[in-house]
Each structure stands twice: as C-alpha cells, then as structure tokens.
Amino acid sequence: MDTDHLARMVISGDTRAISRAISIAEDRSMSEECRLLMRALYPKTGNIHVIGITGPPGVGKSTIIGQIALEMDRRKIRTSIIAVDATSPFSGGTLLGNRIRMQESLNRTSIFMRSLASRGFKGGLSSATLSTIKILDAAGYDTAIIETVGAGQTDIDIMKIADTTVVMHAPGLGDIVQSIKAGIMEIGDVFVVNKIDREGSFLAIKDIQDSLAINPSGEYHKKVIGVNSLNGENIPSLVDELMSHRSFISKKRKDSKSRFMLELQIYIEDELRRIIDERSEGNGDLHREMISVARKGIDPFNGAEIILAKLLR
C-alpha cells in the first residue's frame, strides 16, 4: 500500500497497519519511505504518555510491565508496550525474549505489544524507538511503556524520550547503594523495588528513600514503591503514581520547543550513524578515506578531523 494510505490506516488504529509502519521504521533500507510516513503522521502526534522502565537484568522488568499494562487496560487506558531486546554483536540477531514472556498474558486484551532489536545502539534503546512512539501516538494510544535492554547503571538514554522514567531494583541483585553513588538514581521519576516478599526488600526501599531525602531534585516529590510482580501486590498503587506523574508533567510539556529540539537531535544522530555505516562498509568512500589517512601515518586525532571535515562537507 502507498504511504498516504498506510498513514490513514495507522491513524484509524488498524493494528496490521501499525505493525507494518513500525517495520518500515526499523528497516534502514526503507529510510525514504519512513520519512514520508513520519511526515504524514506527525500532525497527529503529541498526546501519548511515554513511560520508560529501566533496571538491571533479572529485576523483573518484563513481568512488572505486563502487570502495569493489564492494570491500565482495566482502567480503559489504551496501552502499548515497546520491549527493546539486545542484538548479538556477532550474528546481528536477537531472541526478542521479552515478547515471548509477555505475549501470552496480553493476548486477551487490547494492549499492543512490539519488540524491537537494539541493533547495537548504546543506552538500551533501538534507533527505531522514537519513530515507533510517534506511530503509536498517531494511532491513538494513551500510553507507551518502553522496556530497555537493561544495562544497569549505563542504561540512561531512556530519560531522553520518556515522560516518566521508572528505575527498578530488587533485593539480592547487587548493591543498591553503589547504584545510588553512580548516579543512576538521578534519572528516575518513580522508583520500584520488586520482590518485596524477599529478605532485604525493606532495607532496599529505605536506602532509596534516604537517598531521595538527601538529594531532592525538581518540583516533583519522587516516591519509592515496593511491589510483588508475581501476585500483583501494590501494582494499582504504582499505576496511580504513574498517572500522578503524568498529570504533573502535562503542565511541563507546554514547552514543546525543547521537546522538538531533543527529537531533532535524536534523528540527526541516527542519520549520521546511518551515513557512516553505509560509507564504511566494503569499499565505501569513508572506508577508502580511512585507509588513505592510515597510510599517511597521521595520528588518529588529526585523522578523525580530516575525515569528519570531508564527511560533513
């Protein structure tokens, strides 16, 4: 189908069209088609609430997201999930295991679920994540929940595109105090300690609360919520807090210029990566330029300046 027809189908909420549009956003070889599609959808965007959930592997992010989505669905909040899975640096493939774990419990709901491969991008996010959010926004979803790869303390890029960032911990999965020292606490709006039935959960909650009391940030009073993802304990309270933060940031989102600048930067960075990748492969002109600089015996710092000057020119 042509791009305009696909855009109309996405806006109408057709799930097959939404899936097709996301596939276009993921496929770099269809970049021109993607640009045309996003251009058609952009006027319908700007309403979705993006919730980013991050934390170390094994903390229970997938299970928590499934529980949050089901609770939102019960409240008639039209909800979508974007689960970003790690890509193999050798084969380029990905298991997309989050989808396997979550899909069964979501099959009987109106929740839209999509897994994206990280494709080697740092920060736990796929290059197609922002475009996927725009597609779901145009399709009329109220909320998009993003699960990152889960790289622990370095997994902070989620705060760039999320309206509400949830940082998860669990007792017995590492030193929470060390995470606090490393600055991971600074990116969170809501903090969740999962597996509160385990020993040490009370101390984990207290450590985070003490840190937030010592280092308050912004006007929003950040909270720590203990949950049990297996039986759903305190999930309604967590969703209440997410909705409370949405009401808070809805006033802040009036500054659309800063949001636009951030999205512009993300797309520029992605396009630069694409250009560099294309020109570096095989016998591309950038690859030949790098060989030429190497043969001249120039140090890598000056060499990089020469190559960048030609690339940007």
Q: Is the pLDDT of residue 283 over 90?
A: no
CA separation for the pair 131, 171 (Å, rounded): 35
Locate the domains of the chain by residue range.
47-253, 259-312
Q: Is the pLDDT of residue 97 over 70?
A: no
Count of residues in the chain: 313
CA separation for the pair 275, 284 (Å, rounded): 11
- Give pairs for 71-75: CB < 8 Å, separation 24+: 71/232, 71/235, 71/236, 71/239, 72/142, 72/143, 72/239, 73/109, 73/110, 73/111, 75/239
Other C-beta atoms closer than 10 Å to the C-beta of 305 total 12
Q: Say yes or no: domain 47-253 is CATH 2.170.120.12.
A: no
- Least confident among 19-23, 31-35, 43-47: 31-35
Q: What is the pLDDT of residues 204-221, one digit of tens each?
A: 888 888 877 766 666 778
The closest of 86, 72, 78, 206 to 64, measured between CA atoms, is 72
- Least confident among 30-44, 50-64, 266-280, 297-311: 266-280
Q: What angle do CA 283, 285, 290 make, to 5 degrees?
A: 90
The closest of 87, 31, 119, 64 to 232, measured between CA atoms, is 64
170-193 mean pLDDT: 70
Radius of gyration of the chain (CA): 21
**Which pair of tokens denotes residue 118?**
């990280």
Q: What is the pLDDT of residues 140-162, one digit of tens each?
A: 999 999 987 655 444 566 777 88
- Looking at residue 217, its pLDDT comes to 61
Contact 38, 131 (CB under 8 A): yes
- Least confident among 132-136, 205-209, 276-280: 276-280
